[in-house]
Amino acid sequence: MPVRASFLRRALLNRTAILGAAVVILFAAGILLGSYTVTIPDFFRILTAHLTGGERIPGASFIVMESKLPRAVIGTMIGVAFGLSGGLFQTMLRNPLASPDVIGISYGASAAAVTAIVVFGATGAAVSGAALGGALGVAALIYGISRSGALRGGSGSRAGSGSAAGNRLILAGVGIASALGALVNFLLTRTDIRTAADALVWLNGSLNHASWDRAGVLAAALLVLVPAVAVLAGPLRIIELGDDTAAGLGIRVDRARLGVVLTAVSLAAVATAAAGPVAFVAFLAGPIARRFTGKASLPASALVGALIVLAADYFAANFAPLLLDGTALPVGVVTGALGAPFLLWLLVTANRKDA
- Predicted local distance difference test score (pLDDT) of residue 7: 59
Q: What angle do CA 31, 36, 38 make, to 5 degrees?
A: 55
pLDDT confidence of 22, banded at 50, 70, 90? very high
b/e per residue, 6-15, with b = 16+ CB within 10 A? Answer: eeeeeebeeb
Q: What is the dihedral of CA 180, 182, 186, 188, to 10 degrees?
A: 70
Neighbours of 249 (CB within 10 A): 11
Question: pTM of the predicted model, to two decimals?
Answer: 0.89
Mean pLDDT of 254-258: 84
Lowest mean pLDDT among 63-72, 142-151, 330-339: 142-151
pLDDT band (50, 70, 90) for residue 267: very high
Amino acid (1-letter code) at residue 50: H
pLDDT greater than 50 at residue 157 = no
Q: Is the pLDDT of residue 112 over 70?
A: yes
Of 310, 338, 268, 244, the closest CA to residue 69 belongs to 310
Calculate the average pLDDT of the chain. 84
The identity of residue 313, as a single letter, is D
Q: List C-alpha distances in Å: 239 to 39, 60, 243, 283.
A: 49, 51, 6, 21
Contact 344, 337 (CB under 8 A): no
C-alpha 340 chain-centroid distance: 16
